[in-house]
Amino acid sequence: MRKNEGGSSSDKQCFFARRPQLALLDCAMVLFARCLEAPISSDFAPLALADGSFAAGLRLESALSLLKQAGRHLPDGPVVGSQEWLQSVVDGLCDISSRDALTGLSNRRQFEAAIGREVDRVARMGEPALLLVVDIDHFKKVNDTYGHAAGDLVIQSVAATLLDCVRPMDTVARIGGEEFAIILPNCPPAFGQTVAERIRQKVDALPVVVIGGQVLSVTISIGGAFAPQWVRSSSAFWCERADQQLYRAKAGGRNRTCLETPPQTEVSAEEKNMLFSGFGQFDAIADSCSEDHLPKTSE
């Protein structure tokens, strides 16, 4: 190992003890640079940290270039190299790492995190949630006939339409070449088919103008499945069930929606008595769960 020009190994070991006022982020950056023992290049000045120390060897040219390419502009207020400025760089990198570069939608990484949270929420709270898997019909033919640039325009147009059809609380992600996924929290089974069909019809009515002025008609197939309520399931199983419905839509001729029929939930009088017997303070809740008030879903 090359001798550390900044001090002995004992200096490294007591670094935190000598500088307890450094913030955690500052310590991590300085320690990382010292462990690498990276020299400061002649064309790169060290970044000044909030307490006046320097993050020697910290290189951000690639990160800043990536942010610029993605159209992310850093705030003008913070001093370059300050902790606030560095935090804005980190936030920008986190954002673009979770976005699909072509459409701006959530990418697969962000989708997997979102569906994992939704599975956990449905298991804890019992609220209904719908997962839709969307695939552009005959997309390979578009690429083969009009070129990949036209294919990109089709993907972008469909992505914008999907985003326009959902609520702010919903998650729309591009999870494959021409495949998308939509997570709809708190979507009752009674409305699932209506929501999916509205999305399909809106894309069907969308003319896509590609290079050369050619107007293409685009259709999509949609498969959907509801997350099992009050059950600790897995996101992979939920996705698999939605995929099965997408295969049904494809096999049925495309340009259609197929949703899995959710299980019918009913509570018998005997089960109701077992649930609420001995809990007088819940009489009002028990009354509200009478057979006349139980939600039923159609087959």
Angle between the N-to-C axes of helices 235-251 and 108-125, in degrees from 0 to 180, rounded to the nearest 10: 110
Q: What is the pLDDT of residues 147-187, one digit of tens each?
A: 999 999 999 999 999 999 999 999 999 999 999 999 999 99
Quote the pLDDT of residue 77: 78
Mean of pLDDT values over 31-37: 43
Q: The tokens of 118 are what?
A: 């939704």
Residue 294's pLDDT band (cuts 50, 70, 90): very low
Residue 268's pLDDT band (cuts 50, 70, 90): low
Question: How many residues can be counted in the chain?
Answer: 299
Of 294 and 238, the one with more pLDDT? 238
* Overall pTM surpassing 0.85 (yes/no): no
Q: What is the pLDDT of residues 205-220, one digit of tens each?
A: 999 998 888 999 999 9
Is residue 61 over pLDDT 70?
yes
**Weakest mean pLDDT among 77-81, 218-222, 227-231:** 77-81
3-state secondary structure labels for all residues of the chain: CCCCCCCCHHHHHCHHHHCCCCCHHHHHHHHHHHHHCCCCCCCCCCEECCCCCEECCCCCHHHHHHHHHCCCCCCCCCCCCCHHHHHHHHHHHHHHHCECCCCCCECHHHHHHHHHHHHHHHHHHCCCEEEEEEEECCHHHHHHHHCHHHHHHHHHHHHHHHHHHCCCCCEEEECCCCEEEEEEECCCHHHHHHHHHHHHHHHHCCEEECCCCCEEECCEEEEEEECCCCCCCCHHHHHHHHHHHHHHHHHCCCCCEEECCCCCCCCCHHHHHHHHCCCHHHHHHHHHCCHHHCCCCCC
Quote the pLDDT of residue 231: 79
Mean of pLDDT values over 120-134: 93
Mean pLDDT computed over every residue of the chain: 78
**Weakest mean pLDDT among 25-34, 143-152, 192-201:** 25-34
270 is annotated as an active-site residue: no
Is residue 35 over pLDDT 50?
no
Residue 233's pLDDT band (cuts 50, 70, 90): confident
Task: Please tell me which residue in 5, 61, 178, 299 is annotated as part of the active site.
Answer: 178
Quote the pLDDT of residue 25: 44
Quote the pLDDT of residue 40: 35
Quote the pLDDT of residue 265: 53
Of 271 and 40, the one with more pLDDT? 271
